[in-house]
């Protein structure tokens, strides 16, 4: 951009200078020469009138004396002098001062000679006066006409040179326009190539960063699943067994005590607390990592989770399955289960809906999991601050080569759709099962 602007500024400055030179050339040379040429033609016309008047004075058939032509010469003198004065103002720059002095001096000598001629005629020497007109005045008039003619030729030559210079300026400006266009084309091409290369490098960096971010997110999700699995097993195995053992010991202690002893009632109460704690530990263990998911698969885990979700949130869930069930890999099942959990949690937190639909569709090529609510919809929900839930769902979808779509539901609520490709199998007859929660 800087190179382009610099080139445009330099070319504009050069073009302005050229156009100013052309304007000055037209003003100082062409227009000045034309005005001077018009005045020289006026001078030449007056000189021709002088020649005609002198011819008439020498005509012997004329009955008038020579002094009768004095008023005519006086008028020609005034007009010629006025033309000479104006011509001196517009004389071209290339004309020398000697030429101007010669013309003025020649005109002055002509009028002096003419005055002497009229003086001779007044003194009665008309024959000598005519002889002076024939020998001196006509020669002076011819010399003046030749000088004016030479000046006209010089003006014409100067105009030709000025026209050639103007044409040369136009040619240079035109050539510079082509050079500028070619330079701009080269600059634009080079800039475009540079921008393509720069943008490609930026896109590659963004793609690399996105890949790293995706890999980091997937590693975090994997670490999270490992941690949850570990904590779930610790809760289920260690704390569960400890609480079970404590409960068994409390039962034996209660049996060994008398029926009406106050200690037996206390032991029963403590045993109930231990059993409630054991149920909470088991529920927490199932929430962190459902064992049924590993032992019985995704659908069994889903059937076990939905009633718990309804009881906890008060949201009625309708479950529908279409197609014949397919066995899912453990990695695919856990990510499907987590997406289902996150989608239903979003329904409880954001949708303001009291019901939700969970649909599972199996086909030969893919499995589709849908969670739909009848709440406030995408637009209202997007106005609030988004957490990491949606990012986590998208990353989990990418980890199993799936596609996550966030759409508007049939009741203007939100529809979360996860499509997961499945290994090809032989086509099986389709069945439909609908379960209402």
Is the pLDDT confidence value at 30 over 80? no
Is the pLDDT confidence value at 307 over 50? yes
Return the pLDDT at 437: 45
Cβ atoms of 430 and 324 within 8 Å: the answer is yes
Domain range for 58: 2-190
Least confident of 4-8, 404-408, 410-414, 426-430: 426-430
Confirm whether 426 is domain-assigned: yes
Task: List the beta bridge partners of residue 404.
Answer: 418
> Can you tell me whether residue 353 is helix, strand or coil?
coil
Torsion of CA 223, 225, 227, 233, to 10 degrees: -150
In this prediction, what percent of the chain has a pLDDT beyond 90?
A: 3
Crossing angle for the helix pair 330-346 and 389-399, nearest 10 degrees? Answer: 160
> Do 185 and 329 belong to one domain?
no
Please tell me which residue, 367 or 271, carries the higher pLDDT value: 367
Residue 102 CA, distance from chain mean position: 70
Is the pLDDT confidence value at 286 over 70? no
Which of 141, 166, 190 terminates a domain? The answer is 190
Query: Distance between CA 423 and CA 326 in Å, rounded?
Result: 10
Return the pLDDT at 365: 85
Confirm whether 248 is domain-assigned: no
Least confident of 65-79, 96-110, 179-193, 239-253: 239-253
Is the pLDDT confidence value at 65 over 60? yes
What pTM does this model have? Answer: 0.49
Average pLDDT, rounded, for the chain: 78
> Is residue 3 very low, low, confident or very high in pLDDT (cuts 50, 70, 90)?
low
Return the pLDDT at 388: 66
Return the pLDDT at 214: 67
Confirm whether 77 is domain-assigned: yes
Confirm whether 215 is domain-assigned: no
Structure tokens at 250: 């409390």
Q: What residues contact residue 359 under an 8 Å CB cut-off, 6+ apart?
A: 319, 320, 321, 322, 368, 369, 370, 372
Residue 5 to residues 11, 96, 370: CA-CA distances in angstroms? 10, 46, 57
> Is residue 89 very low, low, confident or very high in pLDDT (cuts 50, 70, 90)?
confident
Please tell me which residue, 5 or 111, carries the higher pLDDT value: 111
Domain count along the chain: 2
> Do 311 and 431 belong to one domain?
yes
Return the pLDDT at 81: 87
Is the pLDDT confidence value at 380 over 60? no
For the residues 355-375, what does the mean pLDDT come to?
Answer: 88
Which of 164, 190, 216 terminates a domain? The answer is 190
Query: Distance between CA 191 and CA 181 in Å, rounded?
Result: 15
Please tell me which residue, 24 or 194, carries the higher pLDDT value: 194
Least confident of 149-163, 280-294, 347-361, 390-404: 280-294
Confirm whether 117 is domain-assigned: yes
Is the pLDDT confidence value at 386 over 70? no
Is the pLDDT confidence value at 60 over 50? yes
Residue 5 CA, distance from chain mean position: 17
Is the pLDDT confidence value at 431 over 60? no
Confirm whether 287 is domain-assigned: no
Question: What is the CATH number for 339?
Answer: 3.30.565.10
Q: What is the number of other CB atoms lying within 10 angstroms of the CB of residue 383? A: 8
User: What are phi and psi for residue 422, nearest 5 degrees?
Assistant: -120, 155
The DSSP element (H or E) to which 290 belongs, if any, is: none
For the residues 190-201, what does the mean pLDDT come to?
Answer: 88
Q: What is the pLDDT of residues 134-144, one digit of tens each?
A: 888 888 888 88
Q: What is the pLDDT of residues 318-339, one digit of tens each?
A: 998 888 887 788 788 888 888 8
Q: What is the pLDDT of residues 160-187, one digit of tens each?
A: 777 787 778 778 777 877 887 787 788 7
Least confident of 143-152, 167-176, 241-250, 406-415: 241-250
Which of 128, 158, 190 terminates a domain? The answer is 190
> Do 180 and 312 belong to one domain?
no
The DSSP element (H or E) to which 314 belongs, if any, is: none
């Amino acid at each position: 951009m800087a190179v382009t602007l610099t080139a445009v500024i330099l070319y504009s400055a050069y073009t302005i200078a050229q156009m100013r030179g052309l304007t000055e050339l037209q003003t100082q040379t062409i227009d000045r020469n034309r005005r001077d040429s018009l005045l020289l033609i006026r001078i030449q016309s007056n000189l021709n009138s002088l020649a005609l008047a002198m011819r008439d004075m020498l005509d012997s058939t004329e009955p008038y004396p020579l002094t009768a032509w004095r008023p005519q010469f006086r008028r020609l003198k005034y007009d010629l002098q006025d033309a000479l004065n104006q011509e001196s103002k517009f004389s071209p720059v290339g004309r020398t001062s000697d030429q101007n002095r010669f013309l003025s001096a020649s005109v002055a000598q002509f009028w002096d000679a003419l005055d002497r001629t009229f003086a001779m005629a007044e003194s009665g020497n008309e024959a000598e006066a005519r002889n002076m007109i024939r020998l001196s005045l006509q020669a002076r008039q011819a010399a003046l006409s030749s000088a004016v003619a030479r000046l006209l030729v010089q003006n014409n030559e100067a105009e030709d040179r000025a026209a050639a210079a103007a044409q040369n300026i136009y040619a240079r400006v035109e050539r510079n326009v082509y050079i500028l266009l070619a330079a701009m084309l080269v600059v634009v091409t080079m800039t475009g190539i540079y921008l393509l290369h720069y943008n490609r490098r930026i896109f590659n960096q963004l793609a690399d960063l996105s890949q790293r971010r995706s890999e980091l997110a997937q590693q975090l999700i994997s670490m999270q699943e490992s941690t949850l699995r570990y904590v779930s097993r610790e809760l289920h195995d260690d704390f569960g067994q400890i609480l079970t053992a404590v409960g068994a010991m409390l039962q034996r202690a209660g049996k060994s005590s008398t029926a009406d002893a106050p200690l037996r009632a206390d032991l029963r109460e403590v045993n109930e607390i231990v059993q409630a704690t054991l149920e909470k530990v088991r529920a927490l263990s199932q929430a962190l990592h459902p064992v049924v998911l590993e032992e019985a698969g995704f659908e069994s885990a889903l059937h076990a989770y939905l009633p718990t979700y309804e009881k906890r949130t008060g949201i009625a869930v309708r479950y529908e399955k279409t197609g014949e069930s397919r066995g899912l890999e453990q990695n695919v099942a856990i990510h499907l289960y987590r997406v289902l959990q996150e989608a239903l949690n979003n329904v409880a937190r954001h949708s303001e809906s009291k019901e939700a639909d969970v649909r599972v569709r199996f086909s030969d090529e893919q499995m589709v999991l849908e969670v739909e609510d009848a709440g406030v919809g995408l637009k209202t929900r997007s106005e609030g601050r988004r957490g990491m839930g949606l990012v986590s769902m998208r990353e989990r979808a990418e980890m199993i080569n799936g596609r996550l779509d966030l759409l508007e539901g049939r009741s203007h609520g939100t529809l979360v759709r996860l499509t997961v490709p499945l290994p090809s199998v032989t086509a099986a007859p389709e069945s439909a099962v609908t379960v209402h929660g």
